[in-house]
Structure 1
Amino acid sequence: DYVIAVQDPERSLDNAAESAIRHEVGSNFMDQILTTGREQMAAAVQDRLQEYMDNYNTGIRVARVNVVQAQPPDAVRPAFDDVIRAREDEQRAQNQAQQYANQRIPEARGEAQRQIEQANAYKQQAIAQAEGEASRFDQLLIEYQKAPEVTRQRLYIESLQDVMTASSKIMIDVEGGNNMLYVPLDKIMEQNSASVRLGGSTQDLRDLANQLAPFLPGPSTVNTVDRTRLGSDRGGRP
């Protein structure tokens, strides 16, 4: 067949190879052919070229087709270069994003675990506190059932202690009158830079007494109140 059926077998092979290449190039994407798809295209060209040779009865057997180099046409080369650069930028951005994700995900998991542990600790603390309050209430109920009046009085005194401890103002009920004496202890403490401590010196106590003196009833007021009360008891007689 190589000698009889075809007048110029080599030229026929060149034409058939060019036709097979054009067919495969037109059937695939250019970027695939120019980058990673050259081996697949070479195998497809070999199969198609062998089919052409068999149809022409050339007796030629195609052993191998190698695509050594693939370049875009000059008319579209700038556009193709732009596509390549854009793809490289995309790959670089993906790598950076993946690197950032690999860094942030463990940190986020650690933070989530820390918050879970804090929540569990708060839960256990709240449960223990609630159980303690419940136990205290049960004990208080037992004491109340034994002595209701004493228990009420004790609770009242404890409540007053809690309230008055946090207060910086004092109200004094003046005996023999309807007025309440107001002592602005907070103002006095602001004016006095040195705090008066329990167990302090005599001079400290004397200074505090001098500061409280303007707010306390004097002897004349007390005597007037006593004389008025005494006159009332005698029916208005002097």
Structure 2
Amino acid sequence: MSFDKNPWGKRGRSNSNFDLGRILDQFNDMFGGKKGGGKKRPPTKAMLMLIALIPLGMWLSSGFYKLLPYEQALVLRFGKWVRTDGEGLNYHLPYPIEIVQKVPTGTIHRMDIGVPSGFQGFPSAEEHIMLTGDENILHIGMSLSWQIRDLSQFVLVSQNPSDTLKVAAESVLREIIGQTKTAPIISRSGWSEMNLLVQKRLQVLVDKYKIGIRVVNVELHTALPPQPVADSFTEVQRAKTFQEQVVNEALAYANDKIPRARGEKEQIIQAAQAQATQTVNLANGRADRFKSMYEEYKKDPDLNKKRMYYEIMSGILSNNKNKQIFDKSLIKGGILPLLNLKDTPQKSKKEGDQ
């Protein structure tokens, strides 16, 4: 990057050779004039000072520069960093005292780790091979997006920050893959969680290295078994998938039947408890009634005997349609007299026939 250009560009400069003597003559004519007899007057002190200030002003004005919203600039004074300038019009001491390095810090950079993005077929590079948590070998590919966060660290601390980032990303990815089983990697069901975990751990490692990079996004895009065992691996994964399906169906069936059985059990228990409570309460009520009757019986046994007799006879006679009443004087020797069927009313006879 060149820093010795005039920021205002060229202003109608001709292609003729620079003639300092001619310029001095013009200034002399303007400020000194001519002596009598046509002889030129020598340059004055003010004229010489003005001539000296013009290039000095041009040199000082060359320190102005402008940065766009997505740019930052490092200001180096004799090769040592003094500050970082941001968007807008800025100034630095002209070259060679200070120089400026502009960097587009707002740009998002992309990097592939392992299998390149969009790769077709089976990769063969050993750097793509990673070991899973259940000791299977897979070809893994990941895309990484990053941008500059701290320009001074990015330029001055690390000689090759992008290479450092790539090594750190591959290390973190291998660590995460080594802690994860094969099934969620191949089926992609665990990719979202793995992406977040890789991004978080990678950012911690990058901050530790102080390379001034912010990890914007991490995205897994490839997970393939080695080509020699691809078919067998696919069959095994299908068998595992079928096993999981059968287990899930069994669990769903159990989750449906067990709650129902438990509900029926609770209903039976509650019904039994209600029946037991009712039976006990009925028995207690009868017992209390018997106790109260017994207390009354103790007060007047004869009266209670008669009352009980009347209650019993009332129950017997109320359920008997045909009633015969005999005079006690007609009963001889405990034998009842024979009935005169001729004197029986016709209605009673018909009822007896029925």
TM-score (norm 1): 0.46
Higher helix share: 1
Q: Which has the larger radius of gyration?
A: 2
Higher strand share: 2
TM-score (norm 2): 0.33
